[in-house]
């Protein structure tokens, strides 16, 4: 048999595996429509658009056949890490459901063939601080993924890090194909500089003529020589500002835990797509997602209540106006205080 005949038979075998009907369960109408539209685009040579359709179908309802097609499409696009992940997920799904040994073996073979060609990125965190969040292209990287070589597609990425009270950091990197091993070091974040205090301007004062011209045996009252209001920052308003900062901090922490819970839930669903799961790592991720969601809810409530209290105290602690006026006559001299208290 010639080499050309060998290649034709291998391609036919792959096509047979990818195109074989699914035996696990029928897909939903939406997932099936997206899958067929994606296959049509791929056959027409529109790989990127076709891959997006197949990926959308897999998100709606995962299946071994959809994952195999998705991995094949991503491999043709040069997204080797994404293709490898799809093949490994197809292998695990076929093993759990059973009865699909041929597709399980094909998925394992395709994933093993890609592994030597995968590029990886290690995000090395030198000195973690409280509240540190590391992102890659905006996606939060779980602390368990720090200091570990993770497979990654070729392309350009932005790695960033931030923490409360620290100066944020970011770095642009480029990952080339061909089993590249890249390491990005997240430095120790420097403390943020404290905000400069705002100096209050002194109130303007005008000269007043006092005492007034003498008038025999007549009592005279001079105009007010000082009228004004105290500064904006009363003691109550200082407390209000402190509560506002605490409430904002609680809301910010709640947002972080909410985003973290969503990320953990997505990772748990990726490992356990079915309702019944026996994967220990998937169960652990699911428990952590519930815990983070509970923390987020508590912080949302506490932050909202604290901000509401701060608003009330701000208005209650408004300064009151005081007017000081001297009084003089040929029999007496003194001052009067008028205003709202």
Q: Are both 182 and 102 inside the same structural domain?
A: no
Q: Is residue 144 part of a domain?
A: yes
Q: Domain of residue 331: give its range.
A: 220-230+320-339
**Could you tell me which of 260, 286, 271 has the C-alpha nearest to residue 143?**
260
DSSP 291: H
Assigned domain for 167 exists: yes
pLDDT for residue 281: 78
Same structural domain, 226 and 247: no
Burial environment of residue 16 by CB neighbours within 10 A (0 to 12, 13 to 18, 19 or more): exposed
What is the domain-level CATH number for residue 138? Answer: 2.60.40
102 falls within a domain: yes
Helix axes 101-114, 3-19, angle to 10 degrees: 120
Whole-number Å distance between alpha carbons of 123 and 92: 27
Residues 308 and 327 in one domain: no
Domain-located, residue 202: no
Determine the pLDDT at residue 300. 83
Q: What are phi and psi of 196, to 5 degrees?
A: -70, 135
Looking at the structure, tell me whether residues 125 and 88 fall in a common domain: no
Instruction: Say yes or no: 25 and 134 in one domain.
Output: no
SS3 270: helix
CA 87 to CA 278: how far, in whole Å?
A: 20
Do 98 and 158 have their domain in common?
Answer: no
> For residue 41, what is the enclosing H or E element?
helix 29-43
CA distances to 12, 14, 16 from 2, rounded to whole Å, are: 16, 19, 21
Helix 64-76, helix 29-43: angle, nearest 10? 30
Task: Give CA separation, 13 vs 16, 71, 98, 102, 200, in Å.
Answer: 5, 16, 21, 11, 80
The reported pLDDT for the residue numbered 333 is 52
Q: How far is CA 274 from CA 97, 98, 100, 108, in A?
A: 10, 13, 16, 20
Q: Compute the distance between CA of residue 341 and CA of residue 335 in angstroms, rounded to an integer.
A: 18
Task: Identify whether 297 is part of a domain.
Answer: yes
- Cα Dmax for the chain: 136
Which of 202, 127, 199, 125 minimizes the C-alpha distance to 160? Answer: 125
Which residue carries 């205003």 as its tokens? 339
Residue 178 within a domain: yes
Residues, the chain: 341
Nearest Cα neighbor of 124 from 69, 171, 177, 180 is 171
The CATH number given to whatever domain includes residue 86 is: 1.25.40.10
Residues 107 and 11 grouped into a single domain: yes
- pTM for the structure as a whole: 0.49
Does 65 share its domain with 172?
A: no
Mean per-residue pLDDT pooled into runs of 10, the chain (341 residues): 39 43 58 94 94 94 94 94 95 91 94 94 92 95 94 94 94 88 93 75 51 52 44 77 86 87 82 74 80 86 86 72 50 52 43
Q: Which residue has the tokens 């790592």?
A: 281
Q: Quick one: which H or E segment has residue 283?
A: helix 280-316
Q: How would DSSP label each residue in 45-64?
A: T-HHHHHHHHHHHHHHS--H
Where among 90, 116, 142 does a domain terminate? 116
Place of tokens 């905006």: 138
Give 178's contacts (C-beta < 8 A, 6+ positions apart): 117, 119
- The total number of structural domains in the chain stands at 4
The confidence score (pLDDT) of residue 288 equals 87
* Structure tokens given for 133: 């969040």
Q: Are 296 and 243 members of one domain?
A: yes
The answer to whether residues 57 and 154 belong to one domain is: no
Domain finish residue from 97, 116, 135: 116
Q: Determine the distance from the C-alpha atom of residue 37 to the mean position of all C-alpha atoms in its chain, rounded to a whole number.
A: 32
- CA–CA dist 230, 18 (Å, integer): 79
Judge whether 280 lies within some domain. Answer: yes
Does 196 reside within a domain? Answer: no
Give the end of a domain, one of 116, 139, 164.
116
Do 84 and 22 belong together in one domain? yes
User: What is residue 13's predicted lDDT score, i.e. its pLDDT?
Assistant: 42
pLDDT of res. 225: 42
93, 64 Cβ separation under 8 angstroms: yes
Same domain, residue pair 135 and 163: yes
CA distance 315 to 296: 29
């Amino acid at each position: 048999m010639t080499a050309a005949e060998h290649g034709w038979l291998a391609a036919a075998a792959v096509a047979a595996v990818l195109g074989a009907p699914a035996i696990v369960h029928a897909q939903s109408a939406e997932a099936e429509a997206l899958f067929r539209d994606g296959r049509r685009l791929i056959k027409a040579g529109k790989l990127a658009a076709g891959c997006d359709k197949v990926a959308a179908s897999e998100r709606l309802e995962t299946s071994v056949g959809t994952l195999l097609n998705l991995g094949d499409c991503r491999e043709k696009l040069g997204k080797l890490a994404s293709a490898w992940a799809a093949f490994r997920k197809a292998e695990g799904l076929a093993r759990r459901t059973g009865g699909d040994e041929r597709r399980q073996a094909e998925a394992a073979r395709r994933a093993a063939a890609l592994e030597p060609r995968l590029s990886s990125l290690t995000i090395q965190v030198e000195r973690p601080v409280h509240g540190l969040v590391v992102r890659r292209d905006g996606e939060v990287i779980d602390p368990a993924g720090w200091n570990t070589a993770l497979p990654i597609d070729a392309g350009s990425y932005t790695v960033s890090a931030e923490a409360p009270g620290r100066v944020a950091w970011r770095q642009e990197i480029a990952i080339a194909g061909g089993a590249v091993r890249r390491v990005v070091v997240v430095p120790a974040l420097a403390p943020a500089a404290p905000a400069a205090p705002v100096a209050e301007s002194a109130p303007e004062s005008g000269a007043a003529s006092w005492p007034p011209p003498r008038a025999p045996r007549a009592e005279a009252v001079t105009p007010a020589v000082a009228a004004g209001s105290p500064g904006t920052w009363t003691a109550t308003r200082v407390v209000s500002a402190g509560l506002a900062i605490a409430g904002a901090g609680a809301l910010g922490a709640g947002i972080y835990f909410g985003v973290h819970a969503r990320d953990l839930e997505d990772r748990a669903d990726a490992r356990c797509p079915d309702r019944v799961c026996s994967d220990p790592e998937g169960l652990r991720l699911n428990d952590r997602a519930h815990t983070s969601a509970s923390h987020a809810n508590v912080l949302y409530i506490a932050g909202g209540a604290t901000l509401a209290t701060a608003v009330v105290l701000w208005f209650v602690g408004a300064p009151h106006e005081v007017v000081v006026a001297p009084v003089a006559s040929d029999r007496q001299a003194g001052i009067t205080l008028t205003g709202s208290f």
